[in-house]
Amino acid sequence: MTTMTEASVREFKMPDVGEGLTEAEILKWYVQPGDTVTDGQVVCEVETAKAAVELPIPYDGVVRALHFPEGTTVDVGMAIIAVDVSGGAAEAPAPAPEAAPAAAPAASVAEEPKSAGSGRQPVLVGYGVAASSTKRRPRKGVEIPAQEPAQQPAAAAVQAELNGHGPAPADAPAGTSAPAGQGRPLAKPPVRKLAKDLGVDLTTVSPTGPDGIITREDVHAAASPAQTPAPAPVAAPQPAVPAVSTVSAPVPAPAASYDAVRETRVPVKGVRKATAAAMVGSAFTAPHVTEFVTVDVTRTLKLVEELKQDKDMQGLRVNPLLLIAKALLVAIRRNPEINASWDEAAQEIVQKHYVNLGIAAATPRGLIVPNIKDAHAKTLPQLAESLGELVATAREGKTSPAAMQGGTVTITNVGVFGVDTGTPILNPGESAILAIGAIKLQPWVHKGKVKPRQVTTLALSFDHRLVDGELGSKVLADVAAVLEQPKRLITWA
């Protein structure tokens, strides 16, 4: 058996995979303790405030321990995986015998029972700490199975020190407060400051973080008044613990009756958290103006069908969105002042001589807005190819943070949900966003007669600090004119 020394173990820390991001949630592990990894191999998938990203390991070796289970939010800079780089052969991890020394790290791998209807894959437990000391955060609509308390091995204290939290109480299972006389509650300095500001006593807070650490969510839950206390279940007497808000307890999965569970609380994090902050900042920073136009797009739809048969467009995704995107690019070329941003610090309008066209995409993780770089310079087939790649990547949840940076103007297609149009909020740092409504067959006056025509409503929101009503109206009118008479794609190009 090969002996692994502490000197041969490398700790891979959570990197900043975006621009200044401070934390990420571990979505899935691709390796287990005992697996051999090579430089550049993807070991896990994490979700930041902007996207899901796969993390490669930067060296060769054998996985010694995974420090956090799936579903845990980890700060940038914290060690997430330990790898032995000594080059020795690794043995498959096995449960330690009863007579094993206490210092031996618990590296056993087990499957966590699936919750009813959760659909999640089995996750790893025993990441160098006792299974009872790690409690996953509750996820939407999923009931977390209870873990039986287990004896805390000495490796748990080592792991806690690696994570910068100090030793954890040996006998306290996760999710309970530390009893009096057993040390200071585990919490990071920012969390302690938050608790102080909210007037929350940390000794009364039920921790849900790894190793019994109190998180920001725990403090907020303790600070909030209880909503509707659930009736106490009939169970065996339990040891007394300090009273905490019932809001902090995991919400069980809904039963057969809709009223069985009155409320479900979903933690706001990842893409949803970033989107909320961005939209609030945009709505209360940039003075929004929205204008509308209803247009006959019958000819545009006919052109879409013709392009589907064109040999230059074979194998490409051809739909109305493609021609609407091209129409917007033509309108920007005719009115370049709209493609700009507002520099608050310098009190300047920054005009962009390129168009990074954003496409709002609804994904299971929330709304994201990747953009097509230099869309203004692309031919129609190139634009179709870029749109297809953007949509496919977003559906797979593989959009990178870089793909969502640097946008100048955005399109959001709310018509796919059957609504006529909306008043979209600007993507932060951009000057305009075009909303596309549902295309419907409606009575329309065409060549002096009322005929059934394909009609849609467009809405253009813009930043009134740098775009006045005249400029915004010209851009919207040009987009409508191109969609009504697609030959203007040639005459105005």
Task: Give the residue-averaged pLDDT of 217-229.
Answer: 64
> To which H or E segment does residue 362 belong?
strand 361-363
Kindly name the residue from 67, 165, 288, 464 that is annotated as catalytic.
464
Return the structure tokens found at 198.
């909210």
**Does residue 483 register a pLDDT over 50?**
yes
| Dist CA 481 CA 493 (whole Å) | 13
**Does residue 7 register a pLDDT over 80?**
no
Task: Give the residue-averaged pLDDT of 339-359.
Answer: 92
Higher pLDDT, 21 or 349: 349
CA distances from 269 to 51, 196, 273 (A): 11, 23, 5
Single-letter amino acid code for the residue at 272:
R
| Dist CA 174 CA 465 (whole Å) | 52
pLDDT tens by residue, 281-334: 776 677 888 999 999 999 999 999 999 999 999 999 999 999 999 999 999 999
Higher pLDDT, 198 or 148: 198
Q: Is 464 a catalytic residue?
A: yes
Return the structure tokens found at 324.
């609407």
Among 165, 166, 135, 162, residue whose Cα is nearest residue 150? 135
Confidence of residue 243 (pLDDT cuts 50, 70, 90): very low
Confidence of residue 19 (pLDDT cuts 50, 70, 90): low
What b/e sequence results for 10-46 when a residue is b if at least 16 CB atoms lie within 10 Å of its CB, and e otherwise?
Answer: bebebeebbeebebbbbbebebebbbebeeebebbbb
pLDDT of residue 128: 36
Task: Give the residue-averaged pLDDT of 176-200.
Answer: 63
Q: What average pLDDT does the chain have? A: 74
Lowest mean pLDDT among 226-230, 277-281, 376-380: 226-230
Lowest mean pLDDT among 94-103, 447-456, 479-488: 94-103
Percent of the chain with pLDDT over 90: 39
pLDDT tens by residue, 127-137: 333 333 333 44
Return the structure tokens found at 370.
């990747």
Confidence of residue 223 (pLDDT cuts 50, 70, 90): confident
> What contacts 177, CB < 8 A, 6 or more positions away?
185, 203, 204, 205, 206, 207, 241, 242, 244
* Residue ranges of domains in the chain, CATH in brackets: 272-491 (3.30.559.10)
**Does residue 110 register a pLDDT over 60?**
no
Single-letter amino acid code for the residue at 30:
Y
